[in-house]
Structure 1
Amino acid sequence: MNSMIFTRSLLSNTSTLRGIVWKRAAIRFYSSQGPKKLPPQYSILDIKKKYSQGIPLSMVTAYDYISASWVNKAQCDLLLIGDSLAMTSLGYSSTTELPLDEFKYHVKSVCRNQDGPALVVCDMPFGSFEAGISQGISNAIDLMKLSPRVTSLKVEVGPLAQDQYTVEFVKQLCSRGFPVMAHIGLTPQRANSLGGFKVQGNKDPMNAVELYKTAKKLQEIGCWSTVLEAVPHKVATYITQRLSIPTIGIGAGDGTSGQVLVLSDMLGLQPTEHLPKFVKKYDSIVDQVNTSLEQYKNDVEARKFPETGVHTFKIKDDVYDEFVQIIEKENL
């Protein structure tokens, strides 16, 4: 009788103990585990602080894990996953050809690199929002969910008087809490309607006025920054001075809050004879690559590579002798 009471008591206590253990395990899991902690990355507040201090912002494009590591290790402020990868990396003749799914693949590749602090901005490619605002918002959500490192979206916007749809789309994104960097001036996705890749706001003063109005409107509806591309220096400086958000220039002079360049242009990653006027070519990696590959080919043909003892692995003589004996004995 006493043994039965003892057994019931033990089972009861064991059940209670298990409950406590499971409860504590659950509390520990939900309170202290959480998502994997990522290395420090600049926030929009960090960028705005630097902007308020008058320190120029550096922004560079990246299209995969390796190029992202270069940008991060250089401690650049911002990293742009631009749809320009269509032409610089994938062989398309225009950014408008780039499929959204293919672009997403590169976004994920870039974001896997966490070697530095660069704030990641992701383009919204052509076709990802033009069919309708609801479709655009859905695609924006998908892009932001690809990685927690995607901090902001960038949307190309035409002149205010002609592109009220995109302005409304950007407004809807901002109202939903999406951080949006606008892009005005020369917008490559709209190059055909602009008459080609041309400077904007340099011929007709009303075109410059329209650029100014567009920039002001985008700030008003919630954009935290805007890119000014291929805009006369004086116009870009004027617009920058009258905005309270950072401007990032590309072919817009040094009066903007920061600069952005396409990585393949500035490093000479591909044989391009005619670069835009605003590009400063810091290196010509393609020449180094071609020279190295030619040397490799010559070394292989001359049997200079691989060099025995330098690029090869060893095997003990007795092991090798036994290997040969086995082959010969079994007549393999």
Structure 2
Amino acid sequence: MIRNAVHHLHRSYSSYLSPVVRPKTLADLFSKHVSREPITMITAYDYISGSWAQAANCDMILVGDSLAMCALGYESTTEISLEEFCFHVQAVSRSPGDAFIVVDMPFGSFESSIEKGVETAISLMKCSPKVGALKLEVGSHSLSTHNPDYSLKLAAELCSRGIPVMGHIGLTPQRVHSLGGYKVQGSRSAQDAAAIFETARQLKKLGCFSILVECVPHKVSQHITETLDIPTIGIGAGSGTSGQVLVQSDILGMLPGRVPKLAQKYTDLHAQSVDALKHYVADVTLHKFPDNDKNGFKIKEDVWREFLEIVE
């Protein structure tokens, strides 16, 4: 009798479980790439921004270290710690949806050694089962020497261990000081452009499943895309890449001021939010909010009278 009751309860509970959403896979992304369908990617910082990106049906979500500046108020992406970054990775990963989640390897978490880089990569992949890949900023491959950039060695090590890696070339914010600032890369000399192209070829050869190209002349990024048979994701790299990524705070206008040239602001959430909050402040000041009938909760008259008798 008890066994049947338990079985009945189990079946009743199971019938109310929400359907399992299958996250997109690398195969899904390659399918879009092969059919020449543009791949969409949006950054996210927390559960809310992750949920917005998921609801917009974007293919990929990037939990980028740009959240240090866009969401946490740091002056640079290099200031955020790995522990703090993992907290945001987990929050974004809890957002419901099927987007393929890619996670940055933040500055200071992998540069000291290959072993440290592998350890960091494993910890990031273990943040959530929904984390599908890592993004690694890579310096341009030198055509004049046979010494590969350290990050290329790390990319090779991670790929050899079965960890999906998206290489990030062109403008790499973590190396902004060595690059002389936030500047277009590969536009001043053929050698610079060739170095970016060669880096892309090396990353593909090492096993990277995709390459993010930032602030590179559109002819160069299109040539990279047409030469390689893996998806390229552009930001400030023109329309010839396999897909595009933008920072969510730029898209929504979350912060005051102009967005970078490479971005597009589709709404002004900052102004709208401030106006809404001012409206709330004014309503409270003028005793317009809350409205007892609309926002309050009532008590039965006999309970109210008994309450008065008790307290008086």
- Whether 1:214 and 2:199 are equivalent positions in the alignment is yes
* Aligned-pair Cα RMSD in Å: 1.2
**Alpha-carbon offset, residue 40 of structure 1:** 1.1
Counterpart amino acid of residue 304 in structure 1: K
Q: Secondary structure at the match of 1:129?
A: coil
Task: Look up the match of 1:52.
Answer: 34
Q: For structure 1, which runs of at least 5 residues remain unmatched after alignment? A: 1-35
Does the 8 Å contact 1:306/1:312 carry over to 2? yes
Task: Look up the match of 2:70.
Answer: 88
- Whether 1:289 and 2:273 are equivalent positions in the alignment is yes
1:75 to 49, 53, 57: 57
Counterpart amino acid of residue 283 in structure 1: T
Q: Secondary structure at the match of 2:58?
A: coil
**Alpha-carbon offset, residue 308 of structure 1:** 1.7
Task: Look up the match of 1:234.
Answer: 219
Q: Distance in 2 between matches of 1:139 and 1:88?
A: 23
- Whether 1:310 and 2:294 are equivalent positions in the alignment is yes
Counterpart amino acid of residue 95 in structure 2: N
Task: Look up the match of 1:275.
Answer: 259
Q: For structure 2, which runs of at least 5 residues remain unmatched after alignment? A: 1-17
Does the 8 Å contact 1:171/1:221 carry over to 2? yes
Q: Distance in 2 between matches of 1:108 and 1:117?
A: 15
1:107 to 72, 89, 93: 89
Q: Secondary structure at the match of 1:154?
A: strand
Shift of the 146–37 alpha-carbon distance from structure 1 to 2, 3 Å rule, reads farther
Shift of the 261–163 alpha-carbon distance from structure 1 to 2, 3 Å rule, reads farther
Q: Secondary structure at the match of 1:283?
A: coil
Q: Larger radius of gyration, structure 1 or 2? A: 1
Q: Distance in 1 between matches of 2:180 and 2:23?
A: 39
**Alpha-carbon offset, residue 317 of structure 1:** 1.1
Task: Look up the match of 2:118.
Answer: 137
Q: Distance in 1 between matches of 2:177 and 2:82?
A: 20
2:247 to 232, 237, 262: 262
**Alpha-carbon offset, residue 43 of structure 1:** 0.0
Does the 8 Å contact 1:268/1:286 carry over to 2? yes
TM superposition score normalised by structure 2: 0.92
**Alpha-carbon offset, residue 274 of structure 1:** 3.2
Aligned residues: 291
Q: Distance in 2 between matches of 1:174 and 1:78?
A: 20
Q: Secondary structure at the match of 1:310?
A: helix
Q: Secondary structure at the match of 1:152?
A: strand
Q: Distance in 2 between matches of 1:154 and 1:174?
A: 12
Q: Distance in 2 between matches of 1:184 and 1:317?
A: 70
Task: Look up the match of 1:65.
Answer: 47
Task: Look up the match of 1:22.
Answer: none
Q: Distance in 1 between matches of 2:105 and 2:82?
A: 9
Q: Distance in 1 between matches of 2:26 and 2:108?
A: 27
